[in-house]
Amino acid sequence: MTTQTPNGFTLDNSGKRIVVDPVTRIEGHMRCEVNVDENGIIRNAVSTGTMWRGLEVILKGRDPRDAWAFTERICGVCTGTHALTSVRAVEDALGIQIPDNANSIRNMMQLALQIHDHIVHFYHLHALDWVNPVNALRADPKATSELQQAVSPSHPLSSPGYFRDVQNRLKKFVESGQLGLFKNGYWDNPAYLLPPEADLMATTHYLEALDLQKEIVKVHTIFGGKNPHPNWLVGGVPCPINIDGVGSVGAINMERLNLVSSIIDKSAEFNRNVYIPDVIAIGGFYRNWLYGGGLSSQACLAYGDIPENPNDFSPEQLHLPRGAIINGNLSEVHDVDPRDPEQVQEFVDHSWYTYGEPGKGLHPWDGETNPHYELGPNAKGTRTNIEELDESAKYSWIKAPRWKGHAMEVGPLARYVVGYAKGHEDIKTQVDGLLRTMDLPFNALFSTLGRTAARALESEYCSRLQRHFFDKMIANIRNGDQSTANVEKWDPSTWPKEAKGVGMTEAPRGALGHWIRIKDGRIENYQCVVPTTWNGSPRDSQGNIGAFEASLMDTKMERPEEPVEILRTLHSFDPCLACSTHVMSPDGQELTRVKVR
Amino acid sequence: MPAERPERVLVLGIGNVLWADEGFGVRCVEEMAERCALPDRVRLLDGGTQGLYLLPFLEEADALLVFDAIDFGLPPGTLRVLRDADVPAFMGAKKMSLHQTGFQDVLATAQFTGGCPARLTLIGCQPVELEDYGGGLRPAVAAQIGPAIAEAVAELTRWGVPVGDGRTETGDLADASIRRGAYETGRPSAEAACRTGDDRFFPATAKETA
């Protein structure tokens, strides 16, 4: 049957149905079903979170000052971002002002997380959608060296011997049967287009990225006291500054700040010399594979982040842009107000929850989480073993958030589209430069590759911002301000009887908001609307499809039984289902099942 | 197994404390810090839900001891000890939560980079309950913390690491607000916090309603 969605997509579910469950190399559990026509082109897409989402309920009745520690444990990826969003929500509710150094330190930590996540995502989760490490075994190390020097002349690691060593290591690893890292691949699929030398170069950078990521997170260890799961504090940051102190424990001193400074330089260098050149080189081989744009040319949402000054979240003060684009109109960027009950709303008509009446949307401050699991009349299988979902009914544990009723894409590409449309200078320069280098038109940005490229550009921009806030903090300390926390309102007796607040950040994978209600010193309601809820959302009561679903539409699959193209596009969102849904399969599958019906 | 004594040892607890018995590993490490005096060359670490972030800690260790909740297919509350080559293989056999995939990948990555500790011991406990978001350890699993620590002490002793009675000071554990005591006593009631879900992943619930 063919249906037209209000947001401009033509769905046809008459073709062969392909089920991918779970989608691998992501955080959390996700399932995807598509219908392909006789030419292998995707004509209908259904994305579903297979687990119940329930992180809000555990916070009821807790001390608001502790919420960060719980939200940090939600998942294994964006821990610090949840913590930051949480302390911002509490500070907003209680009217707490943080000092200047705390703002700079939080920004450096948040930027470290962005850079870490972007690099790890590209090299360790997403690269395998484009790069074939098994094919790298056939590469000529000398030709790889020439390719490296052509792609990035200033990268020092480029000798034939260096690539030969890596190739030998890879060979040993593959021959020992320890394919663990590279299993679940479809290595002979014609969707892989790189020559062996590019595969070897990228696999080598996978190893370099592994070394670098260990350095990047030391920023968290230094400012957050520990890592994994660094410490945060309502009112500021939990690290005192004593610039003249000595030793490796205690307050932040010059020795540790020098280490932070050197890490910032290393990250910046890697972004410039390795990450961006790799995206350009790999992207060049896939320049005609411009599927996957989905909602990005139509509807993008960004809350913005990285405030220049503490306690000021007005849009012109944010280095990562805030705004909303709807109906594909890039000449108008709407401001976003997370407090407005008419803007952000969550719908559950196609989600396994109930609000008691159909078509109802709830603002997060009034959010409800009442599970209601039932399969539609056309679903196949049983309640415990679903063969095929019925997307005309309820079909996901993810709610459907909408901005003024519109399904939105969030994440690096959305931020860059919003930034570009607003005339953000750094973003505009980067995007124009990339398109010029790759000789691609502006519309090429609205694609899976565009999403992947935006992430690389953003990583590089974040490195520059890190340097900015490092210098800013040093100047501030030199001016005699060593303050890192404001504890005036630490004591609950200073709080109003009831308060509500909202915290917003840009997580690596997109706009993240926490809405809190506090009553008698305890959390009364806590709602998180996470990026993958936006991107992975099911249809809403109007029939609008979400960003994942839209991005898969009209993609040509080389071999429908091998979902390389589906994974490639879904991975480009860097999905994190752990916090958008609830994960706990007692006997999960080791390998992805792909069923063609 | 390498003959020489490991110089640096990492004792790691992994799991998500928010998923009932999934928190077993983290709670073992917390408890061990309260009961055992460990020498400086032993690092006691709450690995929480993290994956790749743990790689540098693995690379700097000669021996690794991991506490975790594992689905061995044994009666709930059963403790099992696995060593060396059996560890990653077993962790890969059943994937019941995302952090395990993460940790299995971390081990594989450490092998690829040549940074995997020469000795590997896993002390695992069969969970009673995972289907309880926001819940704490069930009594049968909580009761295994003591025996698990005893196993760990025995293993460390075999590795030539002296373990005394007392405490170990470390900044590598969870924030006080989510340590076991505060976490389990501060839990909201079942009425206030709905705790059910999808029949595919909550077979116990499915059975009740069937």
At residue A587 the predicted structure's pLDDT band, cuts being 50, 70 and 90, is: very low
What sign does the dihedral B176-B181-B186-B191 (CA atoms) show?
positive
Pairing of strands A361-362, A380-381: unpaired
* Dihedrals phi, psi of A242, to nearest 5 degrees: -140, 90
Measuring CA to CA, how many Å separate A23 from each of A48, A192, A400, B98?
A: 10, 19, 20, 12
As a whole number of angstroms, the distance between CA A385 and CA B198 comes to: 11
Mean pLDDT of chain B: 81
Query: What local confidence, expressed as pLDDT, does residue B93 receive?
Result: 38
What residue type is A328 in one-letter code? G
- The reported pLDDT for the residue numbered A344 is 97
pLDDT of the residue at A363: 96
d(CA A457, CA A461): 6
Q: Which residues pair with B102 in a beta bridge?
A: none
pLDDT category at A1 given cuts 50, 70, 90 is confident
Closest Cα in chain B to A180: B108
What is the chain A residue with the closest CA to B60? Answer: A214
Q: Which of A290-304, B10-24, B86-100 has the lowest mean pLDDT?
A: B86-100
Model confidence band, residue A60 (pLDDT cutoffs 50, 70, 90): confident
- pLDDT given at position A580: 40
Residue B125 lies in a domain: yes
Q: Could you say which of A228, A373, A582 has the minimum Cβ distance to residue B48?
A: A228
Superfamily per CATH, domain A97-284+447-487: Cytochrome-c3 Hydrogenase, chain B (1.10.645.10)
Instruction: State pLDDT tens for residues B9-39.
Output: 999 998 888 888 889 999 999 999 999 999 9
Type of residue at A129: D
Instruction: Tell which phi-psi region holds residue A225, choosing left (phi > 0), alpha (psi between -120 and 50) or beta.
Output: left
A214-255 pLDDT, tens digit per residue, is 999 999 989 988 877 888 999 999 888 887 776 655 688 888
- Choice between B169 and A413, residue whose per-residue pLDDT is larger: A413
pLDDT at residue B74 above 90? no
From chain A, pick out residues whose CB is under 8 angstroms from the CB of B50. Answer: 76, 79, 228-229
B94:A588 CB<8 A: yes
The parent domain of residue B133 ranges over: 9-209
Sign of CA dihedral A332, A335, A338, A340: negative
Which amino acid type is present at position A125? L
Whether B42 is in a domain gets the answer yes
State yes or no: pLDDT of A51 exceeds 70: no
Give tens-digit pLDDT for A354-368: 988 989 999 999 988
Strands of A593-596's sheet, edge to edge? A42-49, A30-36, A16-21, A593-596
The distance of Cα A69 from the centroid of its chain, to the nearest Å, equals 20
Q: Is B48 on the interface with A (CB under 8 A)?
A: yes
Element (H, E) at A162: helix A160-175
Residue B74's closest CA among B66, B83, B82, B63? B82
Residue bearing the bigger pLDDT, A27 or A552: A552
Does a structural domain hold residue B2? no
**What integer pLDDT is reported at residue A592 of this predicted model?**
45
What is the chain B residue with the closest CA to A173? Answer: B112
| Higher pLDDT among residues A22 and B171, named by residue | B171
Whether residue B96 and residue A371 make contact (CB cut-off 8 A), yes or no, is no
State the angle between helix axes of A100-120 and A79-94 in degrees (0 to 180), rounded to the nearest 10. 150
Work out the minimum CA distance from A80 to partner chain B, whole angstroms.
Answer: 12
pLDDT confidence bin for B199, thresholds 50/70/90: low
pLDDT at A481 over 50: yes
| pLDDT level of residue A582 (50, 70, 90 thresholds) | very low
Residue B191 has pLDDT above 70, yes or no: no
pLDDT top residue among A26 and A201: A201
Distance from CA of B165 to the nearest CA of A (A): 25
Annotated binding-site residue? B99: yes
- Report residue A579's pLDDT band, with 50, 70 and 90 as the boundaries: very low
Model confidence pLDDT, tens digit, residues A427-468: 999 999 999 999 999 999 999 999 999 999 999 999 999 999
The shortest C-alpha distance from A217 to chain B (Å) reads 8
Please tell me the distance from the alpha carbon of residue B97 to that of residue A418, in angstroms, as a whole number: 36
pTM across the whole model: 0.91
Classify each residue of A96-129 as buried b or exposed e, where b means 16 or more C-beta atoms within 10 Å of its C-beta. bebbbbbbbbbbbbbbbbbbbbbbbbbbbbbbbb
pLDDT score of B85: 82
Distance of CA A426 to the CA centre of its chain: 21
Which residues on chain A are in Cβ contact (under 8 Å) with B179?
none
Q: Which position has the higher pLDDT, A227 or B67? A: B67
Q: Report CB contact under 8 Å: B98, A76.
A: yes
A158-217 tens-digit pLDDT = 999 999 999 998 888 877 766 556 665 788 889 999 999 999 999 999 999 999 999 999
A114 — pLDDT class (breaks 50, 70, 90): very high
On chain A, the residues whose CB falls within 8 A of the CB of B195 are: 54, 57
Residue A50 has pLDDT above 70, yes or no: no
Count how many domains chain B has.
Answer: 1
> Do A81 and A110 touch, CB atoms closer than 8 A?
yes
CATH classification at residue B75? 3.40.50.1450
Cβ atoms of A287 and A487 within 8 Å: the answer is no
Query: How far from the centroid of its chain's Cα atoms is residue A124's Cα?
Result: 14
Based on its alpha-carbon atoms, the radius of gyration of chain B, rounded to whole angstroms, reads 17
- Mind spelling out the 3-state secondary structure of A54-93? CCCHHHCCCCHHHHHHHHCCCCCCCHHHHHHHHHHHHHHH
Which of the pair, A48 or A343, is modelled with greater confidence? A343
Q: What is the pLDDT of residue A177?
A: 65
- Tell me: cis bond preceding B117? Omega within 30 of 0 counts: no
Tell me the pLDDT tens digit for each residue of A100-109: 999 999 999 9
**pLDDT tens, residue by residue, A558-572:** 988 888 899 899 989
The DSSP bridge pattern shows strands B119-125 and B63-69 to be parallel
For the segment B48-75, the average pLDDT, to the nearest whole number, is 87
Adjacent-strand bridge partners of B120: B64
Question: CA A596, CA A575: separation in Å to the nearest integer?
Answer: 24
Domain-embedded: residue B1: no
Burial A444-457, CB ≥16 within 10 A → b, else e: bbbbbbbbbbbbbb
Cross-chain residue pair A207–B186, CB shorter than 8 Å: no
Using CA coordinates, name the residue in chain B closest to A60. Answer: B188
Q: Evaluate if residue A412 carries a pLDDT over 70.
A: yes
Categorize the per-residue pLDDT at A21 as very low, low, confident or very high, splitting at 50, 70 and 90.
confident
> What is the rounded average pLDDT of the residues A399-407?
96
pLDDT at residue A179, rounded to an integer: 55
Grade residue A417 by pLDDT with cuts at 50, 70 and 90. very high
> Known binding site for Fe cation: residues of A?
78, 579
pLDDT band for position A305 (cuts 50, 70, 90): very high
**In terms of Cα–Cα distance, which of B142, B209, B166 is closest to B36?**
B166
Angle of helix A196-216 relative to helix A141-151, nearest 10 degrees? Answer: 60
Q: Note the pLDDT of residue A248.
A: 54
Domain ranges (residues) in chain A: 97-284+447-487
Among chain A residues, the shortest Cα distance to B21 is held by A584
Which among A173, A385, A582 has the least Cβ separation from residue B200? A385
Amino acid at B93: A
**Residue A469 and residue A257: Cα distance in Å, rounded?**
12
